Structure formats: structure tokens, C-alpha cells
């Protein structure tokens, strides 16, 4: 895809389509006003007669508008002018792309970047436009037989800017949006693939493939024997019941010499049956998404590599399948983690923390500038925050604030949750150093506290994405979150934001 920015008028541009916006009460957006003038009132007439709607999310494609060079004009509703915001903006871009999908559109100019969107800069307007387009055009058809619908042959996507001085910023926004969209798309694919395809070995192959031919990126994969030698008894206890080999995937991206890396650790349970503490039947298929932490950090790595960011980032993915069998770990079994601490496995369904703790201990060798783990860790997190926000916990207030702010800027939002000794006390065990569950109250927090016992001395944050990583229901599928949030943290850290 080629991205461009332009200060030229919407009516003058030779594109297959220009996207313009209209507000309630017959108010025209900047692009629409220009089209209206050059077509001698065509748009305002259609608006007044009710043939085009100003409701957010509505779009109508007009062809052959007089006085306009572009073959199509996509007119999208933006709602009330005073209520215009970035959510409506993204919805409008998505509506236009949806309406165009299926047409033979190759070149689009989006003029919505000219609208005042509560203080959003040209950088973010262009970026969110490209991200929204990626989200809208995403399809997961790999597992369907039969002929697949051809994607729209789009090759060029442009954004209108008001002044020349904004060109570089908007261009960078589009470029970053492209990198994030690629990462999100990869994370969605990995989430959506079924567990009989997306195994730990499959994740390892994807990570290796990303590094192939990239001089800045290397991938190393540890097998079970190597993990055993490292003393990862906790991680290995989760894979005890399955024939599917576990993997520890380690990716290193070097974009900034000898700087300390940001380390991203992603839960990669490629299927979570619960193990001997078997889950109930309904919606168990959704536990194929229990590797979305892994998908999120690998997707973020893909975004970083695409953008060639000047930063050092490592990704560590403990990848396992959690199954019951005669060799599976049993409730009450005690295992020894790589840190030396012993754990009483009171519930084999609290397996995410058992693999993450060893991955966190392993990551110490990198002397992280910050370490962030990402996991579909607890049903309790979904109870607390629903499907809208990712839970953010940290042993460092500044790091938690940093991630929170990044989520807002990237429009991939989180919300802070506490940690603390009073919660950690719920993990006491009569027989081992700790239990792997903390009782009925505050389940997302006690899970965070469990991980906190393995991060002493590191600046660490934990993201529970149990509610945000995928959608259930008719539009079931991976969301690609929190790739935008994590990428934003890295963009900000390496000074790549305008």
C-alpha cells in the first residue's frame, strides 16, 4: 500500500474515491463543502431531501457527481458537529471502507482528516484512519473451503491535510498506522486459528518466520528438555497432561545498540481445558484464544519490525497446551519454579500464572528496562472490567501510568487495578511457598500478586486481557488487542512520536 498526503481540494483529486463527511443539521464537513461548491449544491440538496444521512456510521456512495474528478464520493455521517470525537471519526472511516469493499476501488483520498476531532492531531488522525481501515478489511478465511471473495484492489490511500507543515506528521501517522495494523492483523490471525493448528510448535514457527531475513530480529526456541535443565518445573507442570510439546519462544529485536530492552512476556496457552480441574462445556471452544497474550506480544514485535523502531525489545512466550490425562498435574501437586519458590497447584485451571512465572524468571537475564506480561489470565478480570478495558497492574506507579496513557492515546484502553500484600496473603499455602489460587475475592488482583512474587527488583507491569483479547457472540474473533497499546508504549519510549 502506498500512503500519501495532500493539500489539494477533494473535488480536484483524481482518485477512485474521496471520503467526505456530513454533520447533523445539514452542516457539511470540509471535504463535503468543497464537493458541494464544485457540484453546485449537489450534496446539500441530497442532504436536505434525506437521501444522505448524517447519522454516525452511515455511508452512501455517490458516482458521477458533477464537477468532481473522482469517480466515487463516499459520504459518511458524522452526527452532531459539537459531539464529533475520535470514536465517531474511526466509525466513519470504517463505514466508508465497508461501503467501498467489494468495489474495484484502487485509490482513496480520505478528507475526514480535515475535521476538528477534539484536538486530535494530523498524526493521530492519519494513523487511526489506517488502523480503522485495517480493522475493517480484516478477514479470517484461511479455514474456509470454496472460492473466497476477492479483496478490494486498493493500492493507494491518501489523507487530506490543511497545511503543508502537517504533511510529515500525517505521513508518519499513516506509516505507524500501517505497522500497527499489520501487528493487529497477525495477532487476530493467531487468535482465530483453531488449537489443532495453532499449537506451541506453530507459534514457534511463526516467530521464526518473522525473524527470517531480518537482520535486527532473532528468534530462539527452547524445547522441554532445555526448560527442564533451567528448572522450569512450574511451566512444565502445565504441559504434563498433553502430547503436544511445549515451547519457550524468545525473540530479540535490536534497534538501539546496547540499551536495556523492554521485555514483553505473553501467555501462550494454545488451548485451556482447565486440566484435571476441567472447565465446564459451554463456550469452551473460546479457550483457543488463551494464547492471545502471546499473539499480542508477537503482533507487537511484528509492528516494531515493520516500523524499524530504534529500540530494543525482547519477546518471551511460554507456549503450552493445558490438558487432562493420566500424566497431568493433579490438584494438590507441588511444583518447583525456576526461581526456586515452590507452588501448590490447588487448581490446574489457574495455569497461566504457572507458565508466566517461569518466563518472568527466565527474562531476568535480559536486565529489562521494563517488563510487561500480557495474559488472558482470569475470568475475574472480565467480571471487573467487562470487554472494554484491559486491566493494568504494576509494582511501579510511573510504569502503570505510562501504559494507561499509552492505551488512551492508542485508543486501546486500560484501567488500573491494585496489587498489595493484603491481596497477596490470599495465596498462602499450608504445604508450599504459595498456592496458585487466592480464593473467591479479587481474582484478577491475586493472580497479579502471584506474578509479583517473581518480579522482585524489576520494573514490571501485568496486563490482564481476558475481556479484551477477543469478541464472543455473532462476531466472535480475535481483537488484536493490546497491540496498539503496547506499540504506543514503545513508540513513546523511543521518541518516534511527533
Q: Does 466 bind ligand BES (CB under 6 A)?
A: yes
Q: Does 464 bind Mn ion (CB under 5 A)?
A: no
Q: What is the dihedral of CA 94, 100, 102, 108, to 10 degrees?
A: -100
353 is known as an active-site residue: yes
Q: In this complex, which beta carbon is closest to ligand BES, that of residue 437 or of residue 483?
A: 437
Which residues in 131-150 contact ligand BES (CB under 6 A)? none
In whole angstroms, how far apart are CA 306 and each of 140, 177, 258, 494?
21, 11, 21, 15
365 is known as an active-site residue: no
Binding mask 431-460 for ligand BES (x = CB under 6 A): ------x-----x-----------------
Binding mask 46-75 for ligand BES (x = CB under 6 A): ------------------------------
**Considering only CA atoms, which of 468, 232, 204, 482 is closest in space to residue 356?**
232
Q: How far is the CB of 213 from Zn ion (least distance, A)?
A: 34
Which stretches within 193-270 are classed as H helix? 200-211, 224-229, 233-238
Phi-psi category of 308—alpha, beta or left, where left has phi over 0 and alpha has psi -120 to 50?
left
Phi-psi category of 74—alpha, beta or left, where left has phi over 0 and alpha has psi -120 to 50?
beta
Among 307, 380, 409, 494, binds ligand BES (CB under 6 A): 380
Q: In this complex, which beta carbon is closest to ligand BES, that of residue 50 or of residue 473?
A: 473
What angle separates helix 352-363 from helix 443-452, to the nearest 10 degrees? 30
Whose CB is nearest to ligand BES?
379
Q: In this complex, which beta carbon is closest to Mn ion, that of residue 321 or of residue 349?
A: 349
What angle separates helix 167-192 from helix 200-211, to the nearest 10 degrees? 150
Stretch that binds Mn ion, among 14-22, 268-276, 427-435, 476-484 (CB under 5 A): 268-276
User: Considering 279, 330, 364, 471, which one is annotated as catalytic?
Assistant: 279
Q: Does 189 bind Mn ion (CB under 5 A)?
A: no
Q: How far is the CB of 349 from Mn ion (least distance, A)?
A: 4
Which residues in 341-360 contact Zn ion (CB under 5 A)? 352
Q: Does 352 bind ligand BES (CB under 6 A)?
A: yes
Among 231, 324, 379, 477, binds ligand BES (CB under 6 A): 379
Helical (H) or strand (E) element with 356: helix 352-363
Q: How far is the CB of 51 from ligand BES (least distance, A)?
A: 45
Whole-angstrom distance, CA of residue 32 vs CA of residue 369: 48
Q: In this complex, which beta carbon is closest to Mn ion, that of residue 34 or of residue 321?
A: 321
| Cβ-proximal residues to 145 (8 Å cutoff; 6+ apart), any chain | none
Among 351, 373, 411, 412, binds ligand BES (CB under 6 A): 351
Q: Which one of Zn ion, Mn ion, ligand BES, none is in contact with 378 (Cβ closer than 5 to 8 A by kind)?
A: ligand BES
CB 265 within 8 A of CB 372: yes
Q: Does 376 bind ligand BES (CB under 6 A)?
A: yes
Which residues in 3-62 contact Mn ion (CB under 5 A)? none
Q: Does 349 bind Mn ion (CB under 5 A)?
A: yes
Q: Does 272 bind Mn ion (CB under 5 A)?
A: yes
CB 242 within 8 A of CB 361: no
CB 34 within 8 A of CB 42: no
Whole-angstrom distance, CA of residue 109 vs CA of residue 103: 15
Binding mask 262-281 for Zn ion (x = CB under 5 A): -------x--x---------
Q: Does 347 bind ligand BES (CB under 6 A)?
A: yes
Stretch that binds ligand BES, among 234-242, 374-382, 390-398, 405-413 (CB under 6 A): 374-382
CB 383 within 8 A of CB 407: no
> HSE on the CB side for 431, CA within 13 Å?
12
Q: In this complex, which beta carbon is closest to Zn ion, that of residue 177 or of residue 443?
A: 443
Whole-angstrom distance, CA of residue 42 vs CA of residue 310: 49
Whole-angstrom distance, CA of residue 92 vs CA of residue 109: 14
Binding stretches for ligand BES (CB under 6 A): 272, 290, 347, 349-352, 376-380, 382, 437, 443, 466
The residues assigned a catalytic role are 279, 353
Binding stretches for Zn ion (CB under 5 A): 269, 272, 290, 352
Amino acid at each position: 500500500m502506498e500512503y500519501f498526503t495532500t493539500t489539494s481540494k477533494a473535488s480536484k483529486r483524481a482518485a477512485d474515491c474521496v471520503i467526505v463527511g456530513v454533520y447533523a443539521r445539514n452542516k457539511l464537513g470540509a471535504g463535503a463543502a468543497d464537493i458541494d461548491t464544485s457540484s453546485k449544491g449537489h450534496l446539500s440538496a441530497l442532504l436536505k431531501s434525506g437521501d444522505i444521512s448524517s447519522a454516525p456510521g452511515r455511508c452512501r456512495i455517490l458516482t458521477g457527481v458533477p464537477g468532481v474528478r473522482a469517480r466515487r464520493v463516499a459520504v459518511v455521517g458524522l452526527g452532531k458537529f459539537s459531539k464529533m470525537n475520535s470514536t465517531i471519526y474511526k466509525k466513519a472511516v470504517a463505514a466508508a471502507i465497508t461501503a467501498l469493499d467489494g468495489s474495484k476501488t484502487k485509490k482513496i483520498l480520505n478528507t475526514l482528516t480535515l475535521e476538528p476531532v477534539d484536538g486530535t492531531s494530523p498524526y493521530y488522525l492519519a494513523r487511526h484512519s489506517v488502523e480503522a481501515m485495517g480493522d475493517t478489511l480484516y478477514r479470517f478465511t484461511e479455514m474456509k473451503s470454496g472460492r473466497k471473495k476477492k479483496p478490494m484492489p486498493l493500492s493507494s490511500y491518501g489523507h487530506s491535510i490543511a497545511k503543508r507543515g502537517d504533511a510529515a506528521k500525517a505521513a508518519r501517522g499513516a506509516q505507524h498506522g500501517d505497522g500497527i495494523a499489520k501487528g493487529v492483523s497477525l495477532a487476530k490471525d493467531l487468535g482465530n486459528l483453531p488449537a489443532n493448528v495453532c499449537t506451541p510448535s506453530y507459534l514457534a514457527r511463526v516467530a521464526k518466520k518473522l525473524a527470517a531475513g531480518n537482520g535486527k530480529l532473532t528468534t530462539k526456541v527452547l524445547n522441554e528438555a532445555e526448560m527442564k535443565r533451567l528448572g522450569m518445573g512450574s511451566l512444565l507442570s502445565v504441559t504434563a497432561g498433553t502430547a503436544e510439546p511445549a515451547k519457550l519462544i524468545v525473540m530479540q529485536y535490536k534497534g538501539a545498540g546496547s540499551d536495556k530492552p523492554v521485555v514483553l512476556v505473553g501467555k501462550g496457552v494454545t488451548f485451556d481445558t482447565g486440566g484435571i480441574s476441567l472447565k465446564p462445556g459451554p463456550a469452551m471452544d473460546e479457550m483457543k484464544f488463551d494464547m492471545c497474550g502471546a499473539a499480542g506480544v508477537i503482533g507487537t514485535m511484528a509492528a516494531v519490525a515493520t516500523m524499524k523502531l530504534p529500540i530494543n525489545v525482547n519477546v518471551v512466550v511460554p507456549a503450552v497446551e493445558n490438558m487432562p490425562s493420566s500424566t497431568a498435574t493433579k490438584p494438590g501437586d507441588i511444583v518447583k519454579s525456576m526461581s526456586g519458590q515452590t507452588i501448590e497447584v490447588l487448581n490446574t485451571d489457574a495455569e497461566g500464572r504457572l507458565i508466566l512465572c517461569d518466563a518472568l524468571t527466565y527474562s531476568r537475564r535480559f536486565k529489562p528496562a521494563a517488563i510487561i506480561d500480557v495474559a488472558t489470565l482470569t475470568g475475574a478480570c472480565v467480571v471487573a472490567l467487562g470487554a472494554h478495558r484491559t486491566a493494568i497492574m504494576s509494582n511501579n506507579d510511573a510504569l502503570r501510568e505510562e501504559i494507561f496513557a499509552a492505551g488512551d492515546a492508542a485508543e486501546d484502553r486500560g484501567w488500573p487495578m491494585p496489587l498489595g500484600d493484603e491481596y497477596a496473603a490470599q495465596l498462602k499455602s499450608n504445604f508450599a511457598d504459595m498456592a496458585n489460587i487466592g480464593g473467591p475475592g479479587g481474582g484478577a488482583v491475586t493472580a497479579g500478586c502471584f506474578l509479583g512474587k517473581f518480579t522482585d527488583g524489576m520494573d514490571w507491569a501485568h496486563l490482564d486481557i481476558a475481556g479484551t483479547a477477543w469478541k464472543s457472540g455473532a462476531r466472535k474473533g480475535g481483537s488484536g488487542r493490546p497491540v496498539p497499546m503496547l506499540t504506543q508504549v514503545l513508540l513513546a519510549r523511543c521518541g518516534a512520536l511527533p
